[in-house]
Amino acid sequence: MKHTSFIAALLILSACDGGDNPAPLASQSNVVVSSEAAGVTPFIALVELSGSSLASARSISYTISSKPGSVSKPVNIGYSIQALNRRQQTSAAGSLQLPVVGLYAGYSNTVSINIQFIDGSNASVPLTIVTAAYADPNGIYDRPLIIKQRVAGSSLGFDFFVLKSELELPVIIDTDGELRWVGGATTSSTSSTFVNNGFVIGDAAGTTVYRAELDGSIVATVLSAAPSAKFEHNIDFGKVGLLGELSFASNVATTVSEFTPTGGIGKTWDFAQLISAYMTSQGDDPTVFVRPGIDWFHSNSSTYDPSDNSIIVSSRENFLMKVDYDSGDVIWILGDPTKYWYTFPSLRAKALTLQGGGLYPIGQHAVSITSDGLIMVMNDGTGSVAQPAGAPAGASRTYSAVSAYSIDLANHSATEAWHFDYGQTILSTFCGSAYEAGDQSVLVDFAAVDHFTNARLVGLDAEQNVVFDFQYATTNCNTGWNAVPIHLERLWFE
């Protein structure tokens, strides 16, 4: 660091024009592109920058121009010089390797590299990156059926989204339907999330956690305290780490653990144990509801609520349940009262009444909290499938919806603030998601429609108007069981 600072000082002094004000460092820049190499897929390039002026750089960013006629914003990704220095492995002195990601495949990409110097001045280095064509080996992600194309002037709070795939690493697509990132590995990314500008992926067969960077590199870590478990369903954000749904042979899909990407496990909520203890304390027999070895609960997502230090878990078979983060005490339950769980007085006592009509969550996925404090789910609409013989499975609907609920704990009630059901024309029997972007736009993933043969990705503006609608072939939920907005138009590595 001292050596770098000394060189920077010399550069500033040498740039002085004899007056009181030195010439901007950008005007003296000798940074050039010295080489360019293809990454693991055509969507990634590794660009080598060289020049002594790099010693006085503060940050380096780049913009990839959108194709003519595109509505999605250009990719814009920046690195502090410290972030770039940390990732250097093969670069020689006086040079830096810059990963350029989000390129169009089979295209001559116009890229503008911006170097900001320590005096605040900026120098631009133009670059054209010609990429190879890409043919998706799955025959899916590069050939969407565009049911509704996004049009110029449409208001949407995101321009890119991630599909969590059972076939490979997550894939990134823009809101024009163009494929913009593929990582090249066949690791299933069902249990995954995007955090600190990279993907954290849980192993569907064990407790290995993969960190997949946008430059195509992957690092594996094994969780330290759950050797017999495996990841199932989603990974969500917790209080101090990430919330993962873990499954054990004895307790199938009943456990949520907060873990760190480096392998540590913190707080764990075993809902088989938690619900059993609560029901027993209230005089109910939990053994006819909590059935080890059977998928009676089927947790598929969870979220931390900072407003009252709690977590909300989605039990596909039963309900949404909120519990205290520290004690695990049950705070409320929201679910279809015609299901089996409602026949137990202890659980019924925690049930919220849905006021004013609306849709109870049935077979729901992807619980989250919106920017205005509503509880939002993909409300699939399929009743229970793993209840005891003769027990009520609850209602089933012929369509799926996105539902957002306000909770009035004082009156023990909930209200469906709004829902989007696409005219009751789409049924995603299982899977799927709905997540909000910054301006209350929502990305909806109807993951398994048309008898599990297609997935529909729908972008909604803040008034729930359909901005785009893309269809991809699928088998069951494997194309994109869950999808989330991602902001490649303003990504920053610190």
Does residue 331 share a domain with residue 264?
Answer: yes
Q: Which of 90, 105, 130 is the last residue of a domain?
A: 130
pLDDT tens for residues 306-360?
Answer: 999 999 999 999 999 999 999 999 999 999 999 999 999 999 999 999 999 999 9
In a domain, 337, yes or no: yes
Does residue 188 share a domain with residue 83?
Answer: no
| pLDDT for the residue 227 | 65
Q: Which of 71, 103, 130 is the last residue of a domain?
A: 130
**What confidence category does residue 166 fall into, taking pLDDT thresholds of 50, 70 and 90?**
very high
Residue type, 256: V
Distance CA 342, CA 332 (A): 13
Q: What is the CATH number of the domain that holds 126?
A: 2.60.40.3100
Does residue 61 share a domain with residue 7?
Answer: yes
Residue 3 has pLDDT above 60, yes or no: no
Q: What is the CATH number of the domain that holds 279?
A: 2.120.10.30
**What confidence category does residue 2 fall into, taking pLDDT thresholds of 50, 70 and 90?**
very low
Residue 262 has pLDDT above 90, yes or no: no
Structural domain total, the chain: 2
Beta sheet of 230-237, edge-to-edge order: 230-237, 242-247, 255-259, 265-270
Q: Whose CA is closest to 62, among 52, 75, 53?
A: 75
Structure tokens at 405: 């609920």
In a domain, 31, yes or no: yes
In a domain, 304, yes or no: yes
In a domain, 275, yes or no: yes
In a domain, 56, yes or no: yes
Q: Which of 96, 130, 164 is the last residue of a domain?
A: 130
Q: Which domain holds residue 483?
A: 145-493
Does residue 149 share a domain with residue 122?
Answer: no
Does residue 91 share a domain with residue 62?
Answer: yes
pLDDT tens for residues 61-95?
Answer: 999 999 999 999 999 999 999 999 998 865 667 89
Mean pLDDT of the residues in the chain = 94
In a domain, 136, yes or no: no
Q: Which helix (H) or strand (E) holds 398?
A: none
Does residue 187 share a domain with residue 251?
Answer: yes
Residue 149 has pLDDT above 50, yes or no: yes
Cβ-based burial of 80 (10 A; exposed 0-12, middle 13-18, buried ≥19): middle
Greater model confidence, 220 or 225: 220
Query: What average pLDDT score do residues 355-372 get?
Result: 97
Residue 394 has pLDDT above 80, yes or no: yes
Query: What average pLDDT score do residues 107-120 get?
Result: 98
How many other β-carbons are positioned within 10 Å of the β-carbon of residue 1?
7
In a domain, 135, yes or no: no
| pLDDT for the residue 89 | 61
Counting Cα atoms < 13 Å in the Cβ hemisphere of 400 gives 28
| pLDDT for the residue 75 | 98
DSSP 336-384: -TTBGGGGSHHHHTTBPEEETS-----S-EEEEE-TTS-EEEEE-----
Residue 8 has pLDDT above 50, yes or no: no
pLDDT tens for residues 444-454?
Answer: 999 999 999 99
Q: Which residue has the tokens 């306000």?
A: 406
In a domain, 323, yes or no: yes
The DSSP bridge partners found for residue 320 are: 314, 334
Does residue 394 share a domain with residue 307?
Answer: yes
| pLDDT for the residue 92 | 64
Does residue 85 share a domain with residue 35?
Answer: yes
**What confidence category does residue 17 fall into, taking pLDDT thresholds of 50, 70 and 90?**
very low
Does residue 334 share a domain with residue 304?
Answer: yes
What is the b/e burial string over 38-57, where b = at least 16 CB atoms within 10 angstroms of the residue's CB? ebebbbbbbbbbbbebbbbb
Does residue 150 share a domain with residue 117?
Answer: no
pLDDT-wise least confident of 97-106, 109-118, 169-178, 200-209: 200-209
Does residue 174 share a domain with residue 105?
Answer: no
Q: In this structure, what are the phi and psi dihedrals at residue 338, rounded to the nearest 5 degrees?
A: -95, 5
Does residue 299 share a domain with residue 218?
Answer: yes
Alpha helical stretches, state H, 122-251: none
The DSSP bridge partners found for residue 398 are: none
Residue 5 has pLDDT above 90, yes or no: no
